[in-house]
Structures are given as structure tokens and as C-alpha cells.
Amino acid sequence: MERVMENENWKRQIEHSLRNTKDLPADFVITESEKNYFENTARGGSLGFSVTPYYFSLAENNPSDPIRRQFMPSMDEFAVKTYELEDPLGENRFSPCTRLIHRYQDRALLLVTDSCAVYCRHCFRRSFTRLNRGIISMEELGNVIAYLKRHDEIMELLISGGDPLMLDNQELEMILDRITGARKDLVLRVGTRAPVVLPQRIDNGLLSVLKSYLPLWVITQFNHPREITAQSRKAVSSLVDSGIPVLNQTVLLRGVNDDEDTLALVCRELVKIRVKPYYLFQGDLAEGTSHFRVPLKRGMKIAQELRRKVSGLALPVYAVDLPGGGGKVPLTESYFLKRENGSCYFKNGEGEVYKYPDE
């Protein structure tokens, strides 16, 4: 009974999600550019609008609010730069079958659905999330499994989308069952924003499904300290208590978290709730996301300041996924200065130079 209630709880959030301007409260301040977005979506090609009542409630009624900026679309999304790409990571050439991307030798990425509880306006997977193809079909899953069987160099499977936790517990169990039935040795990673935008989703039924596929890691996306609430804390705790390590990938977003104090706060708060900050991503060159992008030079300065502020536990790796399929590279500053007369010279965090004899 309890399970049924909880299950309905997250489905009720989806059912009551805000999906067009008519769903916004009467006193909601809407800018001209936001209003025009909704009038122009008929043009097609844009990422849909949907926000859960829960995530909506975290936002302040002010167009520059950092939570609101993540779910409220505007005409800025139609401003496509010449260097922005439909396939910003050049993944097409790494896709051996539909919905599977095998870019790195020992791990592959599976896109099980293209729907999400909240469509993040900065989404770099927007060319996939706007397709409305829904959940992976049995035929597609069969092809993916055949590939996984032939490629035993794949040791880790990233299950993403879209948001895989938009599938209900039975659908998820069926997919995980078929995958692990064919490849018992796989380590699973589930990429989901549910703890942030739909914490009700982490219900007992889900926990008992996920628990039976350990080792399984969850990677989520907290971008701002105000996303850490009593509910998201509870969601994360129940995952960790079930033996599921939780990591976080923050996207560096202009007007949301592009200063070291906001990032330090979110990273420290994550450590308190037992979430390890894993990556801080430079914005990918996805179409219509330039208003969120932080120039690399500034990003590197912010990351450098962050490093001075927080502990190693709280520090994510600032990285960029190179366009055209180059893959992820860390954007760390170099502490190495030079090698001279059998010694290496380093600059430490305080800018002082130290010698390390190394013949």
C-alpha cells in the first residue's frame, strides 16, 4: 500500500507538470522574450517545456532567478551560433546501434528514453530529447544487448537519456534484467536529474529495483545550492543508504552558478549529503545554448578559485567535451613548471615554487 502511494506521488508530479504558459500562475512575471518563445515553438525544432510543480516551487518569481533560468525558455534558444552543432559531441560516428554510444574503450552510453521531468534549458542532448521517440523498443534493446555481448571490453554501462527514471519501476527492472542477464559483469551507472527535479521518484519500489543490480552508481546534476532541499536530501540519503554511491555533475551556467562562491557552496553541501562532486562541465556547443555558456578563460579562473576554496572531496574536475568527437578533457591548471638538473619544479596552490628531486 505504502509503495502504491509513493508511486502515485511522483506520477502526480509528472501529471501536474507545467507544460505551457497557461499553466503558469497568474502573477508569474514573464518577459517578452519568454512569451515569444512559446509563440514561436510552432516553428518546431525546439526543446519542449515541462517543469514539475516541485522544481517550480524552488524558483523565485524573477526572470534572473538561477532555478527559474534552468527551466524557463526564451527566444535566446533560437539564436544559433555558426559553431554550434546539432551533434555537439560528434557522437553519431560512435554509435554502433540506435541509442548506444561507444566512445571510450571500456564504457558505453545507452539512451533509454528521451523524456525528462524537467527540460533543462541548457540541455546539450537537446537534439535527442526533442525527438519524442520515447522509451527504447524491444528490438533496439535486443541490438544493444547483442553488441554488449560481442564487446566484452565494455565494463561499464552508463544508462542515461533523457532521464531513465522517467521509466516506471517495472520498465526499468525489465531493461536492467535483460542487460545484466546478458552481461553479469557490467558496472552500471544511472544518469538522472530526478533527485534534483523530482525527488519523489526515489521511492521504495525504485530502491528495491536498483539495489538488486549493484554495483550501480547514480550520477545526478545539482547546479545550485538552492536545489539541495529536505526532499532532495532525503532522496539522496535513501540511495546512499541502499549501497548506491551518488556522484554529481554540475554544468557551469552563466547566470546560474558562474562564480566560485556559488560553486563552493553547492559542492560543500553535496559532500554533507554524501554526494561526491565528480565533474564541472564547460557548456557543450549545443544549438541555442550560447546564453548559458561561460567563456573558457573565465571558467578556468573560476575553477582555479574553487580549487583554493574547497577540499579535495568537494572538488569536481572541470572538463570540456570537445566538439566533433574529441571526448572529455580536464581543464586543470598545470602545477608543473620545468625539469632542470635532475629536479622537477612545481608551483603550489599559494603560487610558491618547490623542487622535487627526480633523477
C-alpha cell at 321: 567535451
CB of 87 to ligand SF4, least distance (A): 15
CB closer to ligand SF4 out of 70 and 262: 70
Q: Which of residues 28, 104, 147, 346 is near ligand PLP by CB under 6 A?
A: 104
Active site residue 344: no
Site string for ligand SF4, 184-203 (x = CB under 6 A): ---------x----------
CB of 339 to ligand PLP, least distance (A): 29
Residue from 285, 234, 260, 254 nearest 82 by CA: 285
β-pair partners for 157: 108, 188
What are phi and psi for residue 99, nearest 5 degrees? Answer: 75, 0
Interface with ligand PLP includes 101 (CB under 6 A)?
A: yes
Indicate the burial class of 90 (C-beta count within 10 angstroms; 0-12, 13-18, 19 or more).
middle
Among ligand PLP, ligand SF4, none, the one that 158 touches (CB under a kind-dependent 5 to 8 A) is: ligand PLP
CB of 328 to ligand PLP, least distance (A): 5
CB closer to ligand SF4 out of 13 and 129: 129
Site string for ligand PLP, 282-321 (x = CB under 6 A): ----------------------------------------
Interface with ligand SF4 includes 77 (CB under 6 A)?
A: no
- Which of the following is catalytic: 99, 121, 125, 193? 125
- What is the Cα–Cα distance from 354 to 337, expressed in whole angstroms? 10
CB closer to ligand PLP out of 158 and 252: 158
Active site residue 267: no
Interface with ligand PLP includes 328 (CB under 6 A)?
A: yes
- Which of the following is catalytic: 107, 183, 234, 309? 107
What are phi and psi for residue 315, nearest 5 degrees? Answer: -90, 120
Residue from 154, 119, 125, 133 nearest 48 by CA: 119
Q: Which of residues 36, 107, 231, 237 is near ligand PLP by CB under 6 A?
A: 107
CB of 89 to ligand SF4, least distance (A): 13
Q: Which of residues 69, 102, 125, 293 is near ligand SF4 by CB under 6 A?
A: 125
C-alpha cell at 241: 543508504
Active site residue 120: yes
> Would you please indicate which residues are annotated as catalytic (active-site) residues?
103-104, 107, 116, 120, 123, 125, 284, 321, 328
- Residues in contact with ligand SF4 by CB under 6 A are 116, 119-120, 123, 125, 129, 161-163, 193
